[in-house]
Chain A
């Protein structure tokens, strides 16, 4: 039997990996994937709490997070494609027209 605490530790670990990924990686796609990792950590949290409180709210919330993440992914990839058409790179370091 997996306890709620263990789920929370897993989620916290995923969250930390995601945050570190965003802060250290330079490839936009990988930064993007790290953000998705954060959102999935949240989903694990929500479902674990939903189970703990014996109610469905958390699971419904997780569904909303999944759809919003999909919308964000679509917009993000769209922006990356638009940028790529003007400048052929996916490295955050080379995106330097504006002062970072």
Chain B
């Protein structure tokens, strides 16, 4: 039914309008003082002398690894959430066991200091 899509259309229109209106409004009321230094990458420091393409420190990889693991584990939550009413108490317990194991791992790596930015 096309009629059902009208709220969505309205929502989309509102969503587009909101930032446009705010930006336009702000442009009118804020003070404007263009200055060359404001366009440089570091307004209050030395100009960059290296190319920005450099090796990242290995710490980013550790954060990335942890993110990937804990992010992907949520994949199992989706099927359970969809069938929650059918699975009921059994599903809830099963999911608590699953999350419990994850929490043990999380506590372990926290205590190991993997979350600290040394």
Direct A–B contact in complex, judged by CB atoms less than 8 Å apart = yes
Chain A residues in the interface with B (C-beta under 8 A): 60, 63, 66-67, 70-71, 73-74, 77-78, 81, 84-85
Closest B residue to A84 by CB, please name it: B58
Using known A-B contacts A60-B79, A81-B58, determine if residue A67 contacts B72 with beta carbons closer than 8 Å.
yes
Question: What distance in Å separates the Cβ of B75 from its nearest Cβ neighbour in chain A?
Answer: 5
Which B residues lie within 8 Å of A77 (CB)?
61, 64-65
On chain A, the residues within 8 Å of B79 by CB distance are 60, 63
**Does B93 have its Cβ within 8 Å of any Cβ on chain A?**
no
What CA separation (Å) do A63 and B65 show in the bound complex?
A: 19
Given contacts A73-B68, A74-B68, A74-B69, contact A67 B76 (CB under 8 A): yes
| A78 CB contacts on chain B under 8 angstroms | 65
Contact of A70 among B58, B61, B62, B69 (CB under 8 A): B69
> Is the Cβ of B75 less than 8 Å from the Cβ of A67?
yes
Chain B residues closer than 8 Å to A67, beta-carbon distance? 72-73, 75-76
Query: Could you tell me the distance between the alpha carbons of A75 and B100 in the complex, rounded to whole angstroms?
Result: 21
B68, closest chain A residue (CB):
A70
For A73, the chain B residues whose CB sits under 8 A away are 65, 68
> Which DSSP category, helix, strand, loop or mixed, fits chain A's interface?
helix
Interface string of B76-113 (1 = CB under 8 A from A): 10010000000000000000000000000000000000
A73 CA to B79 CA, complexed, in Å: 23
The distance in angstroms between the C-alpha atoms of A73 and B66, with both chains bound, is 11
Instruction: Name the CB-closest residue of B to A82.
Output: B58
| B62 proximity list for chain A (CB < 8 A) | 81
17 sample A-B contacts, Cβ–Cβ < 8 Å, listed by A number:
A63-B76, A63-B79, A66-B72, A66-B75, A67-B72, A67-B73, A70-B68, A70-B72, A71-B69, A74-B65, A74-B66, A74-B69, A77-B61, A81-B58, A81-B62, A84-B58, A85-B58
Contact B69 A63 (CB under 8 A): no
- A77 CA to B66 CA in the complex, in Å? 11
The docked-state distance in angstroms from the alpha carbon of A67 to that of B61 is 18
